[in-house]
Every structure is written in structure tokens, then in C-alpha cells.
């Protein structure tokens, strides 16, 4: 009797990356941002004129640049995790350094954007649109800064711990959080910077 | 594979931004930018966050969140009253 080999699994079996804790934490963060987005939309419905006037002051090129920077940082993070699975400490360090460089670039871009807005008299107290703009992008920016701390920690430990399963788990957790920060921005970018381009 | 994923994400980002800048059709623009955001979200979740290797419950929850939040933002903007 000829036994036919079973079809190869669509995704080869591998452990779930990261811990249950980080998957739970990220999902709770998703829910929190969902509520923030809901409140944003309800306010937009309440005072559409204020929001339409607010969009005009945002330059989509800032948002676009930051989207590209975050996507690139995510690539380096994913490649760092890949290198850690091969216990290649030098590559992990190099890729985490590039990831942090992108994170720093995002921060610099955000600070320049905030400075320009504040210099033009557009601060969180200006109107409800700018309250949301600073609150949502500020909360996201804090996530980037928090993520950078963890990426920096993984970078510092990469040389000595790259082959250690605990280190890999830690790096996967950091990666999951970092990619979530990127994922959030994928929705913040069209919501603030693109949706107002035509009215 | 990861680099190809990044190229796809960058291409989609640039494409939707250029389209949003050029079009005068508000409905089509909103459909495009939030549709692309949902698509990119799935790619980031599957390729970078590796939801394909996560427990099915997490995979379902994460990908559902991407769809729900994308559709919510799309509907919220599409149906928003004019000034």
C-alpha cells in the first residue's frame, strides 16, 4: 500500500512568539485605543466644522515620513528576532541599533512637528481637534519612547545573551509591542493626516 | 521574505498617500486610505507580529480588531456630517 504524504502545514509548527502576557497586554492596549478612536469620532460628529478646519493645519508629509520610518523600524525589529533565533548576537545588535535609530528619527520628526504647531499657536487648548491630535499622537509617542527603552535593554544584552531562550522570549515580547506601535500608527496616519485632504 | 513584506507595505503607504492627495472624490479616497490601512494591518500582524504562529484565539482577536477598527474609522468618517 502506498501511503500518500499528508499536505505540508500552511505554517510550519513553531512556538508562539512572546509570552501570553504580552499578547494580553497588547490586546488590552488595542481596546483602549479603540475607545479613544470612538470618542474622537463622536466629537468629530458633534463639531465637524472644527475638525475640518483643524485638518488644514496638518501636513501629511510629516505623517507619511513617520509611517515609512516606523515600517522600516519594524523590519529591523523582525530581522533582529530572526537573528536571535540563530543566536547571532552581532546581527541582533546591528538590527536593534537600526531599529532604535528609526525610533529616534520618528521622535525627532514628531518634536519638529509639535514645535511648528505650537509656534503657530496650535496647542492642545486651541480646540477639540487639536486636543485629540496632541492626545492621540502624544499617547502613541509615549508608546514609542517606552518601546525604545525595551529595545535599548535588548540591545545592551544581545552580545552576551543572544543564544539564551529567555533572551529570545524577551526580544519577541519587545518586538510584539514595537510592531503594535507600528500597527497603531497605520490607523492614526489616515485618520489625522489623510482623511482631511478632500472635504 | 521580511524585506519583501516591507517593500509591499511601503508601496501601499506611498500609493494611498499619493492617491489621497490627488483625488477629489472624498468617498473613494476614504475607502482607499482605510482599506489600505486594514490591508497593511493584516500584513504587519501576520508577517511581523507572527500571528500565524500564535494561538488561534489571539490570531482571531488581533485580526478582528484590525478589521473592526478600520471599518469603524471608515464609517465614522464617511458618515460624518458636513460642516
CA distance, residue A199 to nearest chain B CA (Å): 6
What angle do helix axes A165-188 and A60-85 make, rounded to 10 degrees? 160
Q: Which residue of B has its CA nearest to A49?
A: B83
Give CA torsion, residues A154, A157, A163, A168, to 10 deg: -20
Mean pLDDT of A17-37: 97
Percent of chain A residues past pLDDT 90, beyond the cut: 88
Cell numbers that stand for A38 in this block: 470612538
B41 in Cβ contact with B70 (< 8 Å):
yes
Alpha-carbon distances of A189 from A62, A140, B52, rounded to whole Å: 10, 11, 26
* pLDDT higher than 50, residue A5: no
Partner-chain contact B72 A41, CB within 8 Å? yes
Report d(CA A59, CA A43) in Å as an integer: 22
Q: Is A157 on the interface with B (CB under 8 A)?
A: no
A163 in Cβ contact with A34 (< 8 Å):
no
* pLDDT higher than 50, residue A166: yes
Question: Tens digit of pLDDT for each residue in A31-55?
Answer: 999 999 999 999 999 999 999 999 9
From the list A9, A12, A29, A7, the residue with the least C-alpha distance to A177 is: A29
| Owner of C-alpha cell 472635504 | A199
Q: How is residue A86 annotated by DSSP?
A: T
Write the secondary structure of chain B as one string of H (helix), E (strand) and C (coil): CHHHHHHHHHHHHHHHHHHHHHCCCHHHHHHHHHHHHHHHHHHHHHHHCCHHHCCHHHHHHHHHHHHHHHHHHHHHHHCCCCC
Q: How many CB pairs under 8 A join A and B?
A: 133
Q: Is A152 exposed, middle or buried (0-12, 13-18, 19+ CB in 10 A)?
A: middle
Centre a 10 Å sphere on the Cβ of residue A135 and count the other Cβ atoms it contains: 14
Cell numbers that stand for A62 in this block: 510629516
Classify the complex by whether its ipTM is higher than 0.85, answering yes or no.
Answer: yes
What pLDDT was estimated at residue A10? 45
**Any idea how long chain A is?**
199
Report d(CA A81, CA A96) in Å as an integer: 9
Going by pLDDT thresholds of 50, 70 and 90, the confidence category of residue A9 is very low
Mean pLDDT of A53-59: 93
Residue A47: φ, ψ to 5°: -130, 70
Residue A58: φ, ψ to 5°: -95, 135
Partner-chain contact A71 B13, CB within 8 Å? yes
Please give the helix or strand (H or E) that residue A80 lies within, else none. Answer: helix A60-85
Residue of B23, B53, B54 with shortest CB distance to A198:
B23
Mean pLDDT of A163-187: 96
Going by pLDDT thresholds of 50, 70 and 90, the confidence category of residue A6 is very low
Biggest CA–CA distance in chain A, Å, is 81
What pLDDT was estimated at residue B82? 76
Question: Tens digit of pLDDT for each residue in A116-160?
Answer: 999 999 999 999 999 999 999 999 999 999 999 999 999 999 988
What pLDDT was estimated at residue A13? 56
What pLDDT was estimated at residue A197? 83
pLDDT along chain B (83 residues), means of 10: 96 96 94 98 97 96 98 95 74
**A interface test, pick of B69, B74, B79 with most A CB neighbours within 10 Å:** B69
Partner-chain contact B23 A34, CB within 8 Å? no
Amino acid at each position: 500500500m502506498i501511503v500518500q504524504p499528508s499536505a505540508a502545514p500552511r505554517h510550519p509548527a513553531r512556538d508562539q512568539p512572546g509570552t501570553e502576557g504580552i499578547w494580553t497586554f497588547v490586546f488590552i492596549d488595542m481596546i483602549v485605543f479603540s475607545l479613544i478612536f470612538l470618542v474622537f469620532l463622536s466629537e468629530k460628529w458633534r463639531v465637524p466644522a472644527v475638525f475640518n478646519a483643524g485638518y488644514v493645519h496638518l501636513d501629511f508629509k510629516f505623517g507619511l515620513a513617520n509611517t515609512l520610518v516606523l515600517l522600516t523600524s519594524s523590519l529591523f525589529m523582525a530581522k533582529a528576532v530572526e537573528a536571535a533565533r540563530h543566536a547571532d548576537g552581532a546581527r541582533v545588535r546591528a538590527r536593534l541599533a537600526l531599529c532604535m535609530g528609526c525610533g529616534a528619527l520618528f521622535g525627532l520628526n514628531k518634536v519638529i512637528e509639535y514645535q511648528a504647531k505650537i509656534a503657530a499657536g496650535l496647542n492642545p487648548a486651541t480646540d477639540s481637534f487639536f486636543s485629540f491630535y496632541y492626545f492621540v499622537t502624544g499617547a502613541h509617542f509615549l508608546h514609542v519612547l517606552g518601546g525604545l527603552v525595551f529595545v535599548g535593554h535588548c540591545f545592551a544584552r544581545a552580545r552576551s545573551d543572544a543564544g539564551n531562550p529567555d533572551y529570545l522570549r524577551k526580544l519577541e515580547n519587545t518586538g510584539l509591542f514595537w510592531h503594535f506601535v507600528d500597527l497603531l500608527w497605520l490607523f492614526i496616519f489616515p485618520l489625522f493626516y489623510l482623511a482631511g485632504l478632500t472635504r | 521574505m521580511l524585506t519583501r513584506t516591507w517593500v509591499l507595505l511601503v508601496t501601499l503607504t506611498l500609493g494611498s498617500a499619493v492617491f489621497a492627495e490627488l483625488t477629489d472624490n472624498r468617498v473613494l479616497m476614504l475607502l482607499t486610505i482605510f482599506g489600505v490601512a486594514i490591508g497593511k494591518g493584516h500584513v504587519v500582524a501576520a508577517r511581523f507580529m507572527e500571528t500565524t504562529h500564535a494561538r488561534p484565539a489571539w490570531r482571531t482577536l488581533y485580526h478582528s480588531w484590525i478589521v473592526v477598527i478600520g471599518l469603524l474609522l471608515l464609517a465614522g468618517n464617511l458618515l460624518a456630517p458636513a460642516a
